[in-house]
Homo-oligomer: A and B are copies of this chain.
Amino acid sequence: MLRGCAMENTEQARTLREYLAAEDWAALRRHFESLPVQDIAAALAEVDEAEEAVELFRQLDSEQRPQVFSYLTPAFQAGLLESLSNQEARFLLANIFPDDLTALLERLPHETLEQTLKLLSADTVKQVIRLLGYPEESAGRLMTPHFVSVRPDWSIEQALAHIREESEKGETVNVIFVTDAGGRLLDAVKLKRFILTPPEKRVDTLIAEQAISVPAWEDREEVVRQMQHYDLEAMPVVDKHNVLLGIVTIDDVMDVAEEETTEDFQKMGGVGVLNLSLRDARPSLLYRKRVGWLVLLVFVNIFSGAAIAYFEATIEAVIALVFFLPMLVASAGNAGAQASTLMVRALATGDVTAADWLRLWGKELAVSGALGITMGVAVSLIGLWRGGPEVGLVVALSMFCVVVMGSMLGMLLPIVLARFKLDPATASAPLVTTVADIFGITIYFSIATAILGVTPPGG
């Protein structure tokens, strides 16, 4: 993911394209070698001509190529696989990490997927099929099956020799897993503890009582939570017999945390989950993800219209009331959006839980009451000026009621959703605002009808 340094990336892309145009291969390779692979990936993403980007990618040496590939966007990766020769693609796929491979295959369109599977070795295909067998967004999909494990009855010296040998194959070895003969997880031990312990001691002297792990079918959001909670660099993933299957590493988790937050943002904005960068999303996809809520909410808004129709007599009698309609309705929605945003985020970070509702309910009542009084006083002056004392009273009272109502609605809706095991983020600003509108209109005109003494509707 390229972040915040787009100008630099554009600059880099220009430099690369100049070398390419001049066919100065030596300079291009030297330049590539001086750049971190993440920056190469970011620069390639800024090359608009697909053919040029492929040509530049081809100039990378065999060590950088799989690494750069791992940092490209799924769309770019798919395009690249189609443009490369079978031999090039085969080399590439054989050299990327298994978890990156799973992530890639997950996102490839069907036609490309079939082609790509043919390029993999039988063993790799077996492994990929096993990984893709875990539920979507589960720990199993996220994990890499490569890890270093040692036995409890080995000496530290034996263990270190084994670790050296394994890590030459390129695995992560900050954390070493201790498993029994059946592969069952006993503990995760930091590499530095192996280095600090006298070589003749046994591995089981390093084992603590508390081995933290997650089952392969665990939701990835829960994996993120636990890794953050326990400050883990690598989370062991086990099957139901506690056999170690793989590990989830911290860099995967940071990406997942970002994706999950983006999903929450999109839901809160009343947009379906994109699962794609806004940059790469086609207008047709964006249309589909947005039209649902918009149309649904229009039909919900028929109730707002109906409420207005019901109070037509009141409106016709005191047309000045319409002047305050947008203000009151908007305030109800705004207070609701504030309360729901606070609640959705606090639920997502675990700051509060649905079980806290009673405590939160009382607090929200106090806060929204104070807000309602402030807003009521502010708006009574406008009411007084525009419509006289009676209208001022109607407007102030209505404002107080709609702000409290909107806030309580915004606070309760996410909690109710969480209680029913639904995603609290579904309580989007548009949804809360629209529901608050209906109540707001009804409250406003009811109060107006009562105080201004208009013949009650239908009466």
Contacts and interface: CB of A to CB of B under 8 A. Distances in A.
B164 A196 contact: yes
11 contacts: A1-B349, A36-B230, A38-B229, A163-B195, A253-B254, A254-B257, A286-B342, A305-B386, A308-B323, A326-B437, A330-B430
A35 B34 CA distance: 47
A353 interface: yes
Contacts of A335: 290, 294
Interface stretch (A112-120, A374-382, A447-455): A374-382
B7 A293 contact: no
Interface stretch (A17-25, A56-64, A259-267): A259-267
A375 B298 contact: yes
A239 B7 CA distance: 25
Interface residues on A, range: 35 or more
Interface in A84-135: none
Interface string A22-39: 000000000001111010
Given A266-B341, A351-B277, A375-B294, A326 B346 contact: no
A433 B297 contact: no
Interface in A316-348: 316, 319, 322-327, 329-331, 333-335, 337-338, 340-346
A233 B174 contact: yes
The residue in A253, A287, A429 that gathers the most chain B C-beta atoms within 10 A of its C-beta is: A429
A358 interface: no
B367 A283 contact: yes
A200 interface: no
A233 B191 CA distance: 14
A167 interface: yes
Contacts of A330: 297-298, 301, 304, 430, 433-434, 437
A196 B173 CA distance: 11
A384 interface: no
Interface string A233-274: 100000000000000001101110110011011101111001
A279 interface: yes
A378 B196 CA distance: 71
A75 interface: no
A370 to B, nearest CB: 5
A421 interface: no
Interface in A279-323: 279, 283, 286-287, 290-291, 293-295, 297-299, 301-302, 304-305, 308-309, 312, 315-316, 319, 322-323
List of 5 A-B pairs having minimum Cβ-Cβ separation, nearest first:
A269-B341, A3-B350, A304-B326, A429-B429, A6-B353
A54 interface: no
A356 B315 CA distance: 47
Contacts of A422: none
A363 interface: yes
A255 B189 CA distance: 23
Given A271-B342, A341-B271, A334 B433 contact: yes
